[in-house]
Amino acid sequence: MRRYTFRLRDDDTGVEDDTGVSLLDDDVAYRYACDVVHELMQHREQHTRSWQLEVFEGGEKIFEIPFARLDPTLDHLSGPLRGLVEHNAQRVRSLKDTWCATRVTVQEARSLMARSRGKPYLAVVRGRKIIRDDP
C-alpha cells in the first residue's frame, strides 16, 4: 500500500492533507480523488468549478483533478462548449492562485515591517506562519 496525500486549491489558500490515505495504486487513488471532488462540489458546482484537487505520493504530485472536468451540471453541453467552460475555469483558477499569492506576500511584508519596528505583527493565519523561515 502506498500513502497518498491531497491538496485542495480552493478560493483561498487551500487545504493540505498532512496525514494522507493508504491506497493500492494510482488508479485507486484517482477514483478516490474523484469521489472526494464529487462530494466537495455537490450542490455547489458553479461555486466550486474553478477548484482543483492535487494528489501526491511521496511528496511528488501524481495528478490533479480540475473540478470542472467532473462537473455533472455541464454534461448537457456540447464537447467544444464544455471545453471552453473548463478552460475558463482553469483561467479563473490561475487568477485566484495569483491573487492568493499576492495577498500572502503583502501579509508577510506588513509583518516583517512591523517586526523590524518592534511593533505587534500578524504571525499566523489559519495555522500557517506569515513570515517564511530562512532557507
Q: What is the pLDDT of residues 73-129, one digit of tens each?
A: 999 999 999 999 999 999 999 999 999 999 989 999 999 999 999 999 889 887 788
Burial (CB < 10 A; 0-12, 13-18, 19+), residue 98, is: exposed
Residue 14 has pLDDT above 60, yes or no: yes
Question: For residue 66, is pLDDT > 60?
Answer: yes
d(CA 52, CA 31): 15
pTM (2 d.p.): 0.84
Residue 100 identity: C
Q: What is the pLDDT of residues 23-41, one digit of tens each?
A: 999 999 999 999 999 999 9
Instruction: List the chain domain ranges.
Output: 2-129
Distance (Å, whole) CA 99 – CA 23: 34
For the chain, the helix, strand and coil percentages under 3-state DSSP, each to the nearest 5 = 50, 20, 30
